Amino acid sequence: MSDVKDGIAPHGGTLINRLASAEQKQTFLDKADSLPRVTLDQRAASDLVMIAIGGFSPLTGFMAEADYLPVVSDMRLASGLPWSVPVTLSVTEAVAEPLKIGELVRLDDETGRFIGVLELSEKYTYDKQKEAINVYRTDEDKHPGVKVVYDQGAINLAGDVWLLERDPHPLFPDYQIDPAQSRQQFRDRNWKTIVGFQTRNPIHRAHEYIQKCALETVDGLFLHPLVGATKSDDIPADVRMRCYEIMMEHYFPQDRVILAINPSAMRYAGPREAIFHALIRKNYGCTHFIVGRDHAGVGDYYGTYDAQAIFDEFEPGELGIVPMKFEHAFYCTRTSTMATTKTSPSSPEERIHLSGTKVRALLREGKQPPPEFSRPEVAAELIKAMQEK
pLDDT of 151 above 50: yes
Most confidently modeled range among 3-7, 124-128, 201-205, 381-385: 124-128
Is residue 2 pLDDT above 60, yes or no?
A: no
356 vs 360: CA distance, rounded Å: 6
CATH for 8-163, options being 3.40.50.620, 3.10.150.10, 3.40.50.300, 3.10.400.10:
3.10.400.10
**What are 264-292's pLDDT values in tens digits?**
999 999 999 999 999 999 999 999 999 98
Verdict on whether the full-model pTM lies above 0.85: yes
Q: Please check the confidence at residue 1 and state whether its pLDDT lies above 70.
A: no
CA pair distance 152, 48, nearest whole angstrom: 17
Q: What CA–CA distance (Å, rounded) separates 210 from 207? A: 5
* 5 has a pLDDT exceeding 60: no
Higher pLDDT pick, 386 / 139: 139
Average pLDDT, stretch 338-352? 94
Residue 133 has pLDDT above 50, yes or no: yes
pLDDT tens readout for residues 158-198:
999 999 999 999 999 999 999 999 999 999 999 999 999 99
pLDDT tops 90 at residue 359: no
Q: With contact defined as beta carbons under 8 Å apart, do 97 and 120 qualify?
A: no
Pick the residue with more confidence: 365 or 276? 276
Residue count of the chain: 389
> Span 211-234, mean pLDDT?
88
Spatial neighbors of 204 by CB under 8 A, at least 6 apart, are: 354, 359, 369, 373, 374, 378
Q: Which residues of 40-68 are buried (b: 16+ CB within 10 A; e: fewer)?
A: bbebbbbbbbbbbbbbbbbbbbbbbbebb
Please, which pLDDT band fits residue 14 given cuts at 50, 70 and 90? very high
pLDDT band (50, 70, 90) for residue 353? confident
The whole-number pLDDT of residue 4 equals 38
| pLDDT at residue 374 is higher than 60 | yes
**pLDDT at residue 244, rounded to an integer:** 92
Average pLDDT, rounded, for the chain: 93
Angle of helix 271-284 relative to helix 179-188, nearest 10 degrees, comes to: 60
Which residues are catalytic, by number? 200-201
66: Cβ–Cβ under 8 A, 6 or more apart, which residues?
78
Confidence class for position 369, pLDDT limits 50, 70, 90: confident
- Return d(Cα 34, Cα 244) in angstroms, integer: 45
Predicted local distance difference test score (pLDDT) of residue 201: 77
**pLDDT number for residue 120:** 98
User: Is the pLDDT at 233 greater than 70, yes or no?
Assistant: no
Strand, coil or helix: what is 252? coil
